[in-house]
Chain A
Amino acid sequence: MDAPLIELSGVVKSFGPVSVLKGVDLKAYPGKVTALVGDNGAGKSTLIKGLAGVQPYDGGTVRFDGKPVALHHPRDASRLGIEVVYQDLALCDNLDIVQNMFLGREETEFGTFDEGVMEKEASDTLRSLSVRTVKSVRQKVSSLSGGQRQTVAIARAVLKNARLVILDEPTAALGVAQTEQVLHLVRRLADQGVAVILISHNLADVFEVADHIDVLYLGQMVAHLDADQTSRDDVVGYITGAKVQQGASA
């Protein structure tokens, strides 16, 4: 197996007396989808916020490309190519797809927008993800369906050399067909060599798309599983704490 793109070991985080992450290990590999599952309160969000640099960890080491890195600020994360697509997507309804994808990092020439360059890059990115549901990149986001919005949010994340994309419940609000579309997109993202961490409650989605499944239980990583060598019942067992994998947690 390849070397992991990102490797967390012994990560801890507590809020006052409440210890949320109690020494967590996590690896994500380029070209692979790593699903992060766990019940509410298991610490998934805290783990992700640490990776995004929004809420730095208290302790433990983070290695990126094998080198130890510090993630103290969102800037640190984006410099490394870590992008997070949050559940609420954070898109501006009143702007079009190109404007949303480039928000905060517009291409300018003499201080004014170079719309052509942005439009080209946006549609190239969408094409590279084989997006075929979007009619025009100049559509307002308000006119898009839930699945299309998710698509735009993901395309926005990979626009600028993303190497690790973290997706927080990307299918939670979607219907069946749109869920399918987004899962294809997640798969294609990985096929392009991006390391993907997928957070989901929906085990059917997880089994459809993930290569690895990591289970978080009350702040501890209780299982690292290969998706094709485990079963839904096993995963549920780990999530609910009924099962514990030997030697999974450091």
Chain B
Amino acid sequence: MSTPQTPQTTGPAPDTSVNDVNDLIGSGQEGGVADQARAYLQRLQHGDMGALPAVAGLVVLAILFSFLSPFFLTERNFANLLTQAATLVMLGMALVFVLLLGEIDLSAGVTSGMTMALFIVLVNVHAVPWMLALAIAFAAGILTGTFIGFFVARVGIPSFVVTLGLFLGYQGLTLMIIGSGGLYRVQIPEIRDIQNSNMPVWAGWAMLGVILLISAGMSFWDRARRTRAGVPNRTVALVWIKLGVIAVVGGAAIAVLSRNRGQSVGVVEGVPIVVPIVLLILWIGTFVLDRTKFGRYLYAIGGNAEAARRSGVKVMAIRWTAFIVCSTLAVVAGLFSISKVGSVDAAAGREIVLSGVAAAVVGGVSLFGGRGRLMHAAIGALVIAVITNGLGLLNLPAGVNLMVTGGVLILAATVDAISRVRAGGSLMRT
């Protein structure tokens, strides 16, 4: 504190109400549920929409498709949707780390493709134990991020250019690893299980319990710390509301997934194994972004890099690390992809990266940096996955899917821009 020993002296400044101001600075935590709801509405009016448009879009699309196709709202399709979306969710989350800086990684998709090609060739051709091969694939991912980070953060080349170069180069590298005309099947049971097997039913419910416990624990820990520091807490009702929403939404999803969805081929039930993996990465990533210096500095650099630098933030190191995180998570996305597809070919990962960017933007992540959360990218990816899934059920030509997805992306960006303009901001902002 700055010389707090000297109590407030009456300065020569002709202040009229100096004495009564002490309680006027709030922390946005005061008031009951109604006050908090009003504050939230106010934030919405200021253009701080977050993932709300994407969530609304998700609901609208789900209702629409459930009317258009009798298969959309089946247990089987719901599980299918989750596994179809997993790769895009993962890639979208990976990209958030660089998008927050206002950077981009166009090579995230081919990075997952190349590392998976490396992985599968090591296992299938060179008989390397799959765990070791996986470690090598992750090492290749980390190395890729280090490479990009070096050129972007150290040398100062725009990330668009560096990763565009890598986007081209890695397609060639993948081709060389796989060999011409090659396609390798994924035969490792553990890898196939990620997207093709389910947890026992009890484990799904246990997962929900753990999520509720962790969520409650974090909320009450935060409250205890705030109380200790002597600052007000939000009303405790909000914690219960949050837990209630998780319990109801999560419970409904798990209840659906716990029913037998195998048609004539025997019993298929439980939460797909990929779901807890995605949730765990989402939780860890969100924790890092919200509660650690690395995360805070990503937002700060995305907002005003010069301000961050003057505040003593090691801007170069943070930038560099963000690219490493992105490339590493891209390897996980690749793993989900080959588990779902069941094979790796030379074109692996070429198409998906722009869908990953689209997912993030649809979910409310800003391409200019400084704004967005992992959850936003995940929700945006679900929107895109629902479109793909729903249009697929309607037997529409594949071209329609891309056109609709593109339209939704532009719509999402427009909603975001208009909400900002109406709030008095400019289009080009954080």
**Cβ of B395 under 8 Å from chain A:** no
Q: How far is the CB of A47 from the nearest CB of chain B, in Å? A: 18
Q: Which of B21, B26, B222, B311 contacts A115 (CB 8 A)?
A: B222
CA distance A161 to B5 in the complex (A): 11
Contact with A along B249-266 (1 / 0, CB 8 A): 000000000000000000
Contact across chains for A92 and B308 when beta carbons are under 8 A apart: yes
Comparing A19-27, A60-68, A132-140, A198-206, the segment that makes contact with chain B is A132-140
B76 at the interface (CB under 8 A from A): no
Q: CA separation between A145 and B220, bound complex, in Å?
A: 35
Which of the segments B117-125, B297-305, B348-356 contacts the partner chain?
Answer: B297-305
Of A86, A116, A120, A135, the contact of B310 (CB 8 Å cutoff):
A86
Mostly, the B contact residues are loop
| B312 surroundings in chain A (CB, below 8 A) | 74, 104-105
Q: Bound state CA distance, A108 and B295, in angstroms?
A: 13
> A124-B1, A136-B25 known; A91 and B304 CB under 8 Å?
yes
Interface size class of B (residues with CB under 8 A): 35 or more
Residues in chain A near residue B371, CB distance under 8 A: 94
CB of A120 to closest CB in B, whole Å: 5
Question: Quick check: which of A37-45, A171-179, A187-195 contacts chain B, the rest being far away?
Answer: A187-195
Task: Give chain A interface residues in 120-145, CB to chain B under 8 Å.
Answer: 120-121, 123-128, 130-132, 134-140, 142-143
Tell me if A137 and B299 are in contact (CB < 8 A): no
B4 in the interface (beta carbon within 8 A)? yes
CB <8 Å contact, A103 and B311? yes
Interchain pairs with CB closer than 8 A, number: 161
- B292–A111 contact, CB under 8 A? yes
Residue in A91, A138, A187 whose beta carbon sits within 8 Å of that of B28 in the complex: A138
A117 to B8, CA, bound (A): 22
> Which stretch of B146-154, B195-203, B226-234 is in the interface?
B226-234
Given A120-B230, A126-B25, A184-B15, does the pair A95, B293 have CB atoms closer than 8 Å? no
Known: A123-B231, A124-B1, A191-B6. 5 other contacts (CB 8 A): A90-B307, A93-B370, A104-B311, A120-B229, A136-B28
For the complex of A and B, list the 8 residue pairs with the smallest distance between their C-beta atoms, beginning with the closest.
A116-B229, A104-B311, A92-B303, A116-B226, A138-B28, A158-B2, A94-B303, A90-B307
B residues at A contact (CB < 8 Å): 1-4, 6, 8-9, 11-13, 15, 17-18, 21-22, 24-29, 46, 48, 222, 225-231, 287, 291-293, 296, 299-300, 302-304, 306-308, 310-313, 370-371, 425, 429-430
Offer 9 A-B interface pairs, CB within 8 angstroms, sorted by A.
Answer: A86-B310, A91-B304, A94-B370, A99-B300, A108-B293, A117-B229, A123-B231, A135-B24, A137-B28
